[in-house]
Amino acid sequence: MALSVTNQQIAAALQAAAPAAGGDASLQQAGDRFKAMMQNPRMAPPNRGDDMSNNVIAQMAASQDAEIQKSVNDVVALSSQANSMSVQEMTAAAMKATLELASTQLDMEAKMGVVNSSKSSVETLMKNQ
């Protein structure tokens, strides 16, 4: 459903809403700003370039994805090479893979903690407004 509002209708609505006795100057300024904004109701579309090199969130997600993929690849490689390893080599490789997985998990949990605390801060800020 589309409604078309003309500039004359906006002007008439502003005049009808204005106080009869001269009114407040700040209210008049707000009305003038609104009227000026409505003169050009079309906004430019957001610039969404395909270049993700400047997007910090995309870089962080790609970095985390690469870390997780490396851990998975190391575990797969370990399982494929297990037959040719001695018990000591297998134990050392398993400990290395476990340490790598634990550090990746810790890194992910730390990042999620920052995201959740930021989200909570924004929610609290919005409630207090």
pLDDT tens-digit series, residues 17-29 = 766 555 577 778 8
Q: Which residue has the higher pLDDT, 85 or 48?
A: 85
> What is the residue-averaged pLDDT of the chain?
81
Q: Is the pLDDT confidence value at 96 over 60?
A: yes
HSE at residue 71, side-chain half, CA atoms within 13 A, is 18
- CB distance 107 to 64 below 8 Å: yes
Q: Which residue has the higher pLDDT, 14 or 88?
A: 88
Q: Is the pLDDT confidence value at 34 over 70?
A: yes
Mean pLDDT of 119-123: 87
Whole-angstrom distance, CA of residue 65 vs CA of residue 18 = 57
- CB distance 90 to 82 below 8 Å: yes
Whole-angstrom distance, CA of residue 33 vs CA of residue 49 = 31
Whole-angstrom distance, CA of residue 90 vs CA of residue 80 = 11
Quickly state the pLDDT bin for 87 (edges 50, 70, 90): very high
Which of 16, 14, 18, 10 minimizes the C-alpha distance to 41? 10
Quickly state the pLDDT bin for 98 (edges 50, 70, 90): very high
Q: Whole-prediction pTM value? A: 0.50
Q: Which residue has the higher pLDDT, 17 or 116?
A: 116
Going from N- to C-terminal start, the domains of the chain cover 56-128
Phi, psi at 45, each rounded to 5°:
-65, 150
Q: Is the pLDDT confidence value at 16 over 90?
A: no
- CB distance 5 to 37 below 8 Å: no
